[in-house]
Structure 1
Amino acid sequence: MPVWERSSTARVVPPARPRKLAKVPFVELADGRLQGVVSSGSDIGRVYVSSIAVGTYAFACSTNNNRPCGGARGTFCNHIRALVGEAVLQYGAERVARYLKAETPGGEPDAEALVSVMTGTRPEQGGTSAAAPVFSRFLRHLAYLELEPTTAPLPEMQWFPATRTAA
């Protein structure tokens, strides 16, 4: 059994590359989907919750109040394409491809290659939409940004891994 499995703390995987949070402020590989929150390109007050299912590439894209995306008609909309791009920046192309079970031909995959492979299989629109729980997690993350800096422990964050300092 690896040491990290016997530990009471979780491994923190640093981002593959730094990313800008303005367009896609939240992205995660969870619940059998690549999912996240994507800002609207036309309305600063609107966000979309987009997701792609592992293996089938069934996709869903809707506003945070469950109105369907007008661009997701039979193929990936720009929100889903942006989500894939940011996931590649956050987790690395190989990890995203492995998670989604998307085999790209030859060499190192990138966001365009992943989108091409997934759309080439004619994914189903209307995959299981997880808009409410994904958006809820996003809002919870935002709430932590509003807290005043403190060294006092936050009970709801006790599960976060502790950072080690050199002795």
Structure 2
Amino acid sequence: MSHWERSSTARVIPSARPRKLAKVPFVELADGRLQGVVSSGSDIERVYVSSVAVGTFAFACSTNNNRPCGGARGSFCNHIRALVTEAVLQYGASRVARYLKIDTGTGEADAQTLTGVMINSRPAQGDTTAAAPVFSRFLRHLAYLELAPTTAPLPEMQWFPPTRAVA
């Protein structure tokens, strides 16, 4: 049994490249979307929950209290562009393209290329119903950062019930 199998921590896939968390503190490929939390450029206390749907590239962007983003009217706003850029840094362009089902034609791409392909497909504006669960997961991740480092198990991270010894 290896060291990581005996500890209460699991291996984490490292980022494709290091990224700064100030602008986009949370990004994930989940629930059929590229989604995440993006800081406001004008108000330090405001964040936006942005997403792009797999295949259709339907996009949504709203504040954490569900007010619509003024820049996401008919096309990608700067929050969504920042989200795509950070997703490429976190996961790599090829993984993001595969997940979103983006055909770049020639192979390797960057965030600007992926964004261009999606915009050229004229995506529709999607609904913002996913904003609440995405923001909730972001807050849960923040709570873990406040915990003191330990190798003791966390109850909410124990996915399997304890097994009983058979007599």
1:71 — aligned with what? Answer: 71
2:4 — aligned with what? Answer: none
Pairing 1:14-33 to 2, within 5 Å after superposition: 14-33=14-33
Deviations 1:110-164 (A, max 9, x none): 10000000000000012453100000000000001111223322111235xxxxx
Residue 103 of structure 1: how far off its partner (Å): 0.7
| Gap regions ≥5 residues in structure 1 | 1-8, 160-167
Alpha-carbon distance in 1 for matches of 2:158, 2:13: 18
Alpha-carbon distance in 2 for matches of 1:136, 1:148: 21
Alpha-carbon distance in 2 for matches of 1:114, 1:150: 40
- 2:145 matches 1:142: no
Pairing 1:59-98 to 2, within 5 Å after superposition: 59-98=59-98
The one-letter code sitting in structure 2 at the alignment partner of 1:145 is L
Return closer, same or farther for 1:12/1:150 CA change in 2, 3 Å cut-off.
closer
Alpha-carbon distance in 1 for matches of 2:149, 2:12: 21
2:133 — aligned with what? Answer: 133
Which one has the largest radius of gyration?
2
Aligned residues: 151
Alpha-carbon distance in 1 for matches of 2:57, 2:152: 43
Alpha-carbon distance in 1 for matches of 2:32, 2:133: 13
- Normalised by the size of structure 2, how large is the TM-score? 0.86
2:104 — aligned with what? Answer: 104
Residue 10 of structure 1: how far off its partner (Å): 7.5
Residue 105 of structure 1: how far off its partner (Å): 2.7
Alpha-carbon distance in 1 for matches of 2:10, 2:118: 31
Deviations 1:38-65 (A, max 9, x none): 0000000000000000000000000000
- Normalised by the size of structure 1, how large is the TM-score? 0.86
Alpha-carbon distance in 2 for matches of 1:114, 1:61: 18
Alpha-carbon distance in 2 for matches of 1:126, 1:66: 13
RMSD: 1.6
Q: For the Cα contact (< 8 Å) 2:66–2:128, is it kept in 1?
A: no
Alpha-carbon distance in 2 for matches of 1:11, 1:106: 33
| Gap regions ≥5 residues in structure 2 | 1-8, 160-167
Deviations 1:5-59 (A, max 9, x none): xxxx977422101110000000000000000000000000000000000000000
Alpha-carbon distance in 1 for matches of 2:10, 2:130: 25
Alpha-carbon distance in 1 for matches of 2:62, 2:51: 9
Q: For the Cα contact (< 8 Å) 1:60–1:129, is it kept in 2?
A: no
SS of equivalent to 1:102: coil
